[in-house]
Structure 1
Amino acid sequence: MVTGISSFALPRLFETQATGALDEIERVRSTLFKQTATGSRLVDAGVDAAGISIANALGAQVRSLAAGGANVQQGISLVQTAEGGLAQIEESVQRIRELSVQAANDTLTDDDRAAIQSEIDELRSQINQTANTTEFNDQPLLNGTQTDPVVVETGEAAATPTAVGLPTATTAALDLDSIDVTTTAGAQAAVATTDTALNAISAARADLGATQQGLEATGRRVEEAGINLTSALSQIQGADIAATASQTLAANLREQATLAVLSQGFANADSVRRVFQI
């Protein structure tokens, strides 16, 4: 008999201890089940509070980079849309230049030049239509309404957002509205005017090309950072399935042993003590 404890109190003491042990076994097994089901070690704060804090911070960074990567892809699409519109406008301006050179020929009659002027007027209308209808997400890109650069947020903590400058490519902005080839002098002046416009368009396309290259490089960097952070997050969160299975088996065996002792009515106190030492 245990000193200081009556023969009636001893079974009750063992029952209390066994019940506590079974509750702990069930808690451990529940945690192991969640880890196996989710593949994550961090199923609750009791497992690893510091690990959960780190994982939450890494998860926030991963989500931020994912959003930034999507922003970058949208930025690239915007730039490509603007560049495509400029390419169409450039073709029209080149055609106006060809017609201006043609109109500068003294062998043409006034009627010939008038016909050429009509085609130029149509080309100018097409240029303005392209400038007004080149849009991204309902946002005009080339008609001058977007006066501020479009900011592309990348999601990188220390990185400066990319600013996309958009040119104005209307006939007014390119000084094409003044073109009049109904005279030889006017046609000669039109050649110089179109050269200036073509230079401006070429410079704008070069700027957009450089911006696109920068965004593509940023996109690759953001993607790589996201992969690295995701890998680190996986290492922190990931459950060791083999170890979890082994721990689950041990918990089951401990439960069976505890229940076996309880079913014997605590006849052997030494057996109970050995169970609690497993």
Structure 2
Amino acid sequence: MGMQVNTNLAANNTYRNLAATQNDMSKSLEKLSSGLRINRASDDAAGLTISEGLKSQVGGLTVASRNAQDGISVVQTAEGSLSEVQSILQRVRDLAVQAGNDSNNTDSRTAIKTEVTALTSELTRIAGSTNFNGTQLLDGKKGSLSFQIGANAGNSSQIVVDLSKVDVSKVASALTTSSGSSGSAFAISSFSALDGSAAKFKSTTAGGVVTSVTTLALTDATGAAQTSFASVDDYASALGRDAAFSANFSVSVTKDTNGAGTGLVVTALNGGTVSTAVADSAAVGLANGGATNAPAAAGLDFSTAAGAKAAIATIDTQLNYVSTARANLGAVQNRFESVVKTLAVSTENLTAAGSRIRDTDMAAEMVKYTRSSILTQAGTAMLAQANQSNQGVLSLLR
């Protein structure tokens, strides 16, 4: 091979290899300092696409887990208030049972009504004040709440909490106390006209359900047949003792300013409109009064034992309503807690998958860096030797 000055092939070859080695060492330094195997798309285009998809999933699952935990907080807030609602209903039921005893005088029944009214007001306050982050939970106005508990779109990534059946305002409305004068009124011109022959009462609900009851023979407190009555109150008490009547209706007495009974107010336990069969009832001295066939007002009546009996049935219905609502919320809370656990496992597994694709194997990369470092030093030394190889030409020029 000839001796040349202008072109030093050995130096060029050494420089090319040295540049490649330095490039490899630079990449190794970048990977070691960042901890990432893929710092740009050119490092691994396919791996970058996969790892970015996994990164989106992990980020979405992390936020979804927080959403599920917020869902638990919402449910706990609602269920906690319902727990107190149930305690109030239990107390109102105790009062209704107490009111069912005729040993209570007017003042006692008034005291019971006063406490029930106060407790009902508290139910109304709970319905209006229970909220989470400004969202009302127990007033029945918010039909449902949706919670995003997945990283993707679709119904499988959402849980809907139904609040339409958690309406405490309806419970409060059902417990509104009445004075005992709601229902259908029947005037009595004279209690002396009353006798114990058949009187027929009929209840018709808004849905068209008709319930008819005929009192064939009224009895006194001893169970003996009673055909004459000392007062309107006496007649009302006899009606209340009739099994068929008391199973479907409650009765109270309207009074004048002197406290004398002037008529009856009959209320259907099913909330229907009460009327009488005139041919049967007129014979015993009952005549439709000024509030003829007025729909029975919602609420509780503690003025009579019969009214208290109806109140107990109403309260039991509301207790069952609240118990069912609490059970539903409890089931949803358990579901949210299961979601949080599932998301934690999925996040861990997807993070591990992304790490295997994108993160640097520090030990392996350090081996590459050491190799490149040694080759760089060797290449630099060899480049110096290559640059000296053409110095022999000078001896020919002397």
**1:117/1:50 CA distance change after superposition, 3 Å:** same
Alignment of 1:258-269 (within 5 A): 258-264=379-385, 266-268=387-389
Task: Return the match for 2:36 from 25, 40, 45.
Answer: 40
Match of 1:154 in 2: 149
Native 8 Å contact 1:156 1:222 kept in 2: no
Return the offset for 1:25.
2.8
Match of 1:205 in 2: 326
Return the offset for 1:21.
3.6
**1:174/1:229 CA distance change after superposition, 3 Å:** farther
The answer to which structure has the higher helix fraction is: 1
Matched letter for residue 32 of structure 1:
S
Deviations, residues 8-36 of structure 1 (Å, cap 9, x unaligned): 2322x555544444443333222212221
Deviations, residues 146-201 of structure 1 (Å, cap 9, x unaligned): 12x11111115462411101111125566112123233332222111100000000
Native 8 Å contact 1:174 1:197 kept in 2: no
Supply the distance in 2 between the matched residues of 1:42 and 1:250 (Cα, whole angstroms): 20
**1:125/1:16 CA distance change after superposition, 3 Å:** farther
Supply the distance in 2 between the matched residues of 1:254 and 1:268 (Cα, whole angstroms): 20
Match of 2:107 in 1: 111
Structure 1 residue matching 2:174: 3-state secondary structure = coil
Native 8 Å contact 2:15 2:383 kept in 1: no
Native 8 Å contact 1:100 1:190 kept in 2: yes
Matched letter for residue 135 of structure 2:
Q
Return the offset for 1:44.
2.0
- Is there any run of 5+ residues in structure 2 with no aligned partner, and where? 177-298, 391-398
Alignment of 1:214-225 (within 5 A): 214-225=335-346
Supply the distance in 2 between the matched residues of 1:249 and 1:110 (Cα, whole angstroms): 100
Matched letter for residue 145 of structure 1:
K
Return the offset for 1:224.
1.2
The total of aligned residue pairs comes to 264
Return the offset for 1:232.
0.9
Match of 2:49 in 1: 53
TM-score after normalising by structure 1: 0.87
Native 8 Å contact 1:101 1:188 kept in 2: yes
Supply the distance in 1 between the matched residues of 2:7 and 2:26 (Cα, whole angstroms): 30
Match of 1:170 in 2: 169
Match of 2:89 in 1: 93
Structure 2 residue matching 1:56: 3-state secondary structure = helix
| 184-193 or 53-62, which deviates more | 184-193
Higher Cα Rg: structure 1 or 2? 2
| 163-172 or 19-28, which deviates more | 19-28
Structure 2 residue matching 1:10: 3-state secondary structure = coil
Deviations, residues 47-74 of structure 1 (Å, cap 9, x unaligned): 2111111111111111111111111111
What is the percent sequence identity of the aligned residues?
Answer: 35
C-alpha root-mean-square deviation of aligned residues, in Å?
2.0
Structure 1 residue matching 2:146: 3-state secondary structure = strand
**1:246/1:268 CA distance change after superposition, 3 Å:** farther
Alignment of 1:4-15 (within 5 A): 7-11=4-8, 13-15=9-11
Supply the distance in 1 between the matched residues of 2:331 and 2:108 (Cα, whole angstroms): 42
Matched letter for residue 359 of structure 2:
G
Native 8 Å contact 1:124 1:171 kept in 2: no
Q: Which has the higher contact order (CA 8 A, sep 6+)?
A: 1
